[in-house]
Amino acid sequence: MILLISTSSLIALCQPSSIASHQSIVIRTRIANSDATGYACIKRGLNSCPNIKHYMILRSRYRYLLVFLFFILFTPLLMWSSVQVTREQGLTGLAADAENDLMLYVRNFDEYLTRYDHLSGSVATSRLILDLLRNPEERSVVMAANRYLEALNEEVHANTVYVMDLMGNTLAASNWQAEKSFVGKNYSFRSYFQRAIDGIQGRDVAVGATSGVLGYYAARPVLDAGEVIGAAVIKLTLEEMRLMFADLNMQILVADRDGVIFLASDERWRFKTLRPLTSSQMERIRKVKRYADNPLIPWSTVETQPRDEVSKLLVLDDGIEYLAQATLMLSRGWEMHVLKPASEVDNQVYFAMIASGLVCAIALLSLLLLIQRHDYLQDLRDAAIHDFLTGLYTRRYLQDTAKAQISRMDRGQVNSFSAAMIDIDHFKRVNDDFGHRAGDQVLRAVGSAIASEIRQGDIPVRYGGEEFLVIINSKTDCDSTRIVRRILERIKTMSFRGPIRRLKITASAGVAHYQPGETLEQLLQRADELLYRAKEDGRDRFYDDLCRESRPSP
C-alpha cells in the first residue's frame, strides 16, 4: 500500500502535472519577492533567471523526494520493529498459555492414571482374587474371578483387568472370553509384574504382548498374610487421553524415562525418541519387550532455540515452528512436552504489520498534505501581493507597507521617503498599434526597468493600467529624484524584440516627498497631481515637489 502511494506520487512528481506547472508560476512570482535572490532577479528581469527558476522547481521536487525516501527507509524499519516487538509479546503470552496447558494436562493425565492405580489396589484386596490365587485350579473360583474382572472392567472403562500368579501366569482376566484372551499367558518379563512381586506398586507403559495394543499397566501385589501371592493388573489403552490431546490446537507428547514417546497428539511421533538411546537402554527396553518390535528412531527437530529458562522455540521437520515447554512426572518417571504452534501469534504480527504500515501511510499523506498546504498558502500570499504581469507589488501590498513606512517615518526611524508616480506616455497608442501582447511586453519591460533602478527596501508597485508607483526611501531628500530620473532614462533607452523592436517609450513621473502628518492618500494625491502636471507640460519629464533641481528630464 505504501509502495503504491509512493510510486503514484513519484510518477505525479516526474510528470509535467498541474502541480508542477503551477509551481513554475508560483516560483516566478516568488522570485519577484524581496528576498536577495528574487530582488536580483527583478533587477535583471525575470526571464534572465532560468537557472534560479529551475533550481526552485527542483528544490521543491527534492523536498517531496526526500520525504518519500525517508518513508521508504523508515516504513520497513517501523514495520520490522513493530513485528519484532509484537511477536516477542505474543510469544510471551503463548509461553504463559503453554505453562497453563502444561499444568492442566499433566495434572489431568496424572489424576486419570492415579484413579486406576488406586483401583488396582482394590482389585488386589478383593476376596475373589485372594480365593483365586489360593485355589488357582478350582474351576468355579476361576470362573467367579473371571466374571468379577469382566464386570469390573466394564464398569471402570479399562482395557483389561487380570490377575497373575507368582510365576507371571495369568489366572483370570476380564477378556477371558475374547479371542486374544490374556488367560494362560505368561507376562513375567514385564517390569510392572516384577515390581508387584517385590511387594510394591508396578506401573509401566508397554505394547501388549498378546493384543499388540500399547497400554498403561498398573499392578499391585496381592498379599496373603503379609506374603505376596500374586499380582492384580489393570491395563488402559490411553486412547481416551490420546483423543483428548488430538483435539487440541497444540501438540502434546509424553515420553518415558528413556525419552521414548509413547503418547502423542500426533500419531506419527509415537515410538520416536527425544534423545538417542544408549545400548544399555535399548537392551533394557528389549528385555521387558516394552515397545515390541517397533523401531525406535529419533524424533527430528530441525532447529531448537531456547527463549528463557523453561520455554524454547523449535522447528520440526515438517517446517512448523512451535513454542515448547516441558515438565517431569517424577512419580512415574515420564516427561510431558506441550508444543504450541508459533503461528498462533501470526495474527497479532500481521495486525501489527498492517497497523504500522497504515500509520506510516497516514503520516506520509499528512506530511504531503501539509507541505502542499504550506506551498498553496505561500502561493496565495504571493499572488495577493504581486502583480501577475510585472512581478511588482500590488496596491493591496502598498496599503499595508506604506502605512507602516509612514509610522516608521513618524517615529523617526527613517530619514525621509517619497512616492514616485510613473506613467507610460502614450501607452494606449502602443496597444492600438501593436496589440495587447506588445502592450504587455512594454509593461513587463517598464516593470523590470523600475525594479532594476530602485534599491533594496524601496517598494515598486503596479498602480494601475500603465501607471506605476515607487515608494523610495532616501537618506537625503533628493535621493529619490536621482532614482526617478534614472528610471525614466532607462525606460527611454529600452529596446524590444519582435514587431515593436523600433518602438521607443517614454514615461512621465511625479515625485511627492512625505510631509509629517500626511496620510498615504494625501501623499499619493500630491504625486498624482505632479504627474498630471508633467503630462500636461508635454510628457517625458517629471516634477518633484521638493528638490529644486527637478526639471523635465532631457
List residues with catalytic annotation.
Answer: 466
Which span (102-110, 138-146, 363-371, 497-505) binds another protein, by CB under 8 A? 102-110
**245: which residues sit within 8 A by CB, 6+ positions away?**
105, 251, 252, 263, 264, 265
Per rule CB under 8 A, is residue 270 in the interface with another protein?
no
Residue of 6, 20, 46 whose CA lies nearest to 447: 46
Is 334 a binding residue for another protein by CB under 8 A? The answer is yes
Tell me which of 57, 178, 223, 310 binds another protein, using CB under 8 A.
310
Map residue 368 onto helix, strand or coil. Answer: helix
Pairing state of beta strands 311-316 and 321-329?
antiparallel
Q: Of 165, 335, 387, 458, which one interacts with another protein (CB under 8 A)? A: 335
- For residue 246 the three cell numbers come to 488430538
| Smallest distance from another protein to CB 106, Å | 4
Determine if 311 is a binding residue for another protein (CB under 8 A). yes
**Can residue 286 be called a binding residue for another protein (CB under 8 A)?**
no
Residues in region 41-100 near another protein by CB under 8 A: 98-99
- Cβ closer to another protein: 326 or 419? 326
Q: How far is the CB of 199 from another protein (least distance, A)?
A: 11
The per-residue DSSP string of 136-182 comes to: TT-HHHHHHHHHHHHHHHHHHT-SEEEEEETTSBEEEETTTTSTT--
CB of 289 to another protein, least distance (A): 17
Q: Which stretch binds another protein (CB under 8 A): 291-299, 306-314, 435-443, 446-454?
A: 306-314
Q: Which residue among 102, 133, 261, 277 contacts another protein (CB under 8 A)?
A: 102
x-or-dash pattern for another protein, window 394-433, by CB under 8 A?
----------------------------------------
Among 2, 89, 110, 315, binds another protein (CB under 8 A): 110
Strands (E), 375-451: 416-424
Identify the CA nearest to 150 among candidates 158, 232, 125.
Answer: 158
| Using rule CB under 8 A, residue 437 touches another protein | no
Cβ-proximal residues to 31 (8 Å cutoff; 6+ apart), any chain: 37, 38, 41, 42, 46, 49, 52, 53, 56, 391
Residue 355 binds another protein, judged by CB under 8 A: no
Among positions 7, 125, 278, 456, the unique one binding another protein when judged by CB under 8 A:
278
Contacting range for another protein; rule: CB under 8 A; set: 20-28, 83-91, 279-287, 383-391: 279-287
CB of residue 31 to another protein, shortest distance in Å: 58
State the Cα angle at 491 between 452 and 27, rounded to 5°.
40
Strand partners, 337: 253, 326
Question: Is 256 near another protein (CB under 8 A)?
Answer: yes
Q: How many residues bind another protein (CB under 8 A)?
A: 36
- Helix or strand or coil: residue 428? helix
Q: Which neighbouring-strand residues pair with 472?
A: 418
280 binding another protein? (CB under 8 A)? yes
Pair 545, 526: CB distance under 8 Å: yes
| DSSP conformation class of 260 | B
Which residues would be at the binding site for another protein (CB under 8 A)? 98-99, 102-107, 110, 200-201, 255-257, 259, 275, 278-280, 283, 306, 309-312, 325-335
